[in-house]
Structure 1
Amino acid sequence: MTTPIFTFTFLPFFLLFSSTLTPITANNLISETCKKCAQKDPNLSYKFCVTSLQAAPNSQDADLRQLGLISMNLVQHNVTNTRRFIKHLLKNEELDKFVRVYLDDCLDLYTDAIPSIKQAVKDYKMKDNRHANIAVSSVAGAATTCEDGFEERPGLVSPLTKRNHEMFQLCVLALLIINMVSSPFY
């Protein structure tokens, strides 16, 4: 039995070519998702997106839908930690009275955000993306409202600027992924 010359000639080229193709991995999915999300919304930093998702447990094996859930879990974690941080700041007896007033407002906002993000996760798991979107949007609004409060008083510096900005970016990421998985092209 003779083997066609085609097999010996083209098989090595095929193997060489196929080995150079990039397999679709979770890191590629994270990178591509973050690239698309950062292009769609200037409020989201590509680097922040990639760093956040890659640091999350189970993100390396996640598909896009799972990345949406992971992003909401990151929001939930951030809400809880920021609330705890605000409580810690409020224990300072020497805190400026105006800072204290705005921190109290932020504590209320972040406290209200906890059930909102939990509901968003439940809705998303039930594939009720519209309601998940609404709930995540309200959490994003909490971060923005908190930060805006400090800007009402000239010269007052928010001790939560970094945390509020990160919270907002995490919410934007979650919203963009929710919209991506809601798309008929997903």
Structure 2
Amino acid sequence: MGRQHQTAPLLLILPAALLLLLGATITEARVLRRVNDRSLFDVTSACKKASYPDLCKSLAPSKSVGSLTGAAIDVATSKAKEAAAISAKLMNVPGTEKLVKSGLCDCRDTFSSAADSLQLAAKNLKDAAQYDLMQNLSAAMSLASTCSDTFEDWPDLVSPVADINDHLTKLVSNSLDLASTLKN
């Protein structure tokens, strides 16, 4: 009699344990599906939201819109630093006209400031500070366009940094477009 009494609770526990095991397996499958969905991030779809999709797609592979935005900001930062260095170098070329030197000086300063704003934007992205991220990217965009505006003030002058300035503006524009799609 005592032996039957011991197996009865065991028979009741066994179905409950199986239900728990089955529930854990279903939960694991859901988690794995979420992980796999993240690994299938579609850069092409995300880049459709950017002003310059082909330039955006060149930043692949990325695992999320956040990492794609970070890559765009990093490339823009490097380009802004490069533009500042080129502007400084061109200022010192013998025979450069005084007005061109003045314009290049303005460009060097605005490119350096744009790089600073982009570095802050990268920090904002890591800190998930969306408002500050958008502010710093907007500032970088404004600064990047300031160089071309400088040379437009003198129609007879051609900017020696027009191409790099154009590329930087596109990179910052894409960074801004991608950042605007991030959730707060």
Alignment of 1:6-155 (within 5 A): 29-37=42-50, 44-51=51-58, 53-54=59-60, 60-155=61-156
TM-score for the superposition, normalised by structure 2: 0.74
Identity of aligned pairs, percent? 22
Unaligned runs of at least 5 residues, structure 1:
1-22, 38-43, 55-59
Give the AA of the match of 1:45: Y
Equivalent residues of 1:99, 1:156 under 8 A apart: yes
Residue by residue over 1:132-168, the C-alpha shift from the partner in whole angstroms, topping out at 9 and shown as x without a partner, is: 1111111111111110110111221111111111111
**Cα distance in 1 between the residues matched to 2:86 and 2:39:** 32
TM-score for the superposition, normalised by structure 1: 0.73
- Decide whether aligned partners of structure 1 residues 47 and 98 sit closer, same or farther in structure 2, where only a CA change above 3 A counts: same
- Decide whether aligned partners of structure 1 residues 26 and 167 sit closer, same or farther in structure 2, where only a CA change above 3 A counts: farther
**Cα distance in 2 between the residues matched to 1:85 and 1:111:** 11
Equivalent residues of 1:34, 1:49 under 8 A apart: yes
**Cα distance in 2 between the residues matched to 1:182 and 1:126:** 13
Equivalent residues of 1:79, 1:110 under 8 A apart: yes
Q: How many matched pairs?
A: 149
Equivalent residues of 2:62, 2:68 under 8 A apart: no
Equivalent residues of 2:73, 2:175 under 8 A apart: yes
Q: Which runs of 4+ in 1 moved over 4 A?
A: 23-28
Give the AA of the match of 2:173: V
Residue by residue over 1:49-79, the C-alpha shift from the partner in whole angstroms, topping out at 9 and shown as x without a partner, is: 223x13xxxxx14211111111111111111
- Decide whether aligned partners of structure 1 residues 172 and 122 sit closer, same or farther in structure 2, where only a CA change above 3 A counts: same
Equivalent residues of 2:52, 2:174 under 8 A apart: no
**Cα distance in 1 between the residues matched to 2:163 and 2:62:** 29
Which entry has the higher C-alpha Rg, 1 or 2? Answer: 2
RMSD after superposition: 2.1
**Cα distance in 1 between the residues matched to 2:62 and 2:171:** 20
